[in-house]
Structures are given as structure tokens and as C-alpha cells.
Homo-oligomer: A and B are copies of this chain.
């Protein structure tokens, strides 16, 4: 077997495993070069503006610490925490700033239905998911870290 043949065999060996490996790599959040991108989902489920501010502080601190370009952050508000994202939220201004800084801010439509809230009742430009809890679960299973302030 010459060098070229060995190389071909190696490529076939790699190809045979490429599908499962890509799945594993995706789940780990590793990029093509094997470097890990930071990903953080922050849960807000308390009816407590101090917790809302803490969640926003946490997002900002992570961005400052690792560089905003190196981390994806999503804040998911659900259940008793949904008030954080209502029009009259005391943290409305800070949430707008966070979204400008590329933090994704997400409201739970399940909770909104239960509390008779429409999108007109919510802060502008936020995102929506059918169920906040599912979003938090799926993100972790896609390799995101979890934080509950």
C-alpha cells in the first residue's frame, strides 16, 4: 500500500463516520475547527424586577467577559416571569439595550395565552416561542449552558 492509498483509506474511514460525528459536534456547539462557541440561555420565571435586572446584568457581564461576538445569549421569560416583557416593564429600556447588543429576548406564548396577553401588550421587537420551557430544554440539548439568576 503506498501513501496515496493509505490516504484514500483514511478518507473513507472518515466518511463512514461523518454523519454521526456531525451530530455530536452540533450537540456540543463545536465549530468546524473544533472551537466551542459560547451559548447561554437565561431563564426568567420569577415575578421580581430585581431578578429581571440580575438577568440583564448577567447577560451583559458575559458579553463583556468573553466578547459579545463570541457568545449567543437568549433570555426566556415565562410563567410568573412574563411581566419582564410587558409594555409597562420597569426594565423595558434595559431590554431594548440588550436587544441592540444582540441578546435575544423571548416571551412564552403559552404563558401569554394563560394571562390573556397579546403581542400589543408586550415590548416591541421581542421574539416569541410557543412554550418557553420547551425552548429552554431544546437549547440545552443543543449545547447551550443554562442560567437561572
Contacts and interface: CB of A to CB of B under 8 A. Distances in A.
Interface residues of A, number: 58
A118 interface: no
A35 to B, nearest CB: 9
Interface in A128-143: 130-131, 133-134, 136-138, 140-141, 143
A10 B54 CA distance: 52
Interface stretch (A13-21, A88-96, A99-107, A119-127): A13-21
A115 interface: no
A10 B14 CA distance: 8
Contact of A45 (B38, B133, B143, B149): B149
A45 to B, nearest CB: 6
A149 B110 CA distance: 15
A98 interface: no
A38 B141 contact: yes
A138 B143 CA distance: 11
Given A6-B12, A62-B131, 19 more contacts: A1-B5, A1-B8, A8-B9, A9-B13, A17-B21, A23-B30, A38-B137, A38-B138, A39-B141, A40-B133, A43-B148, A45-B149, A58-B133, A61-B133, A61-B134, A65-B130, A65-B133, A79-B149, A137-B145
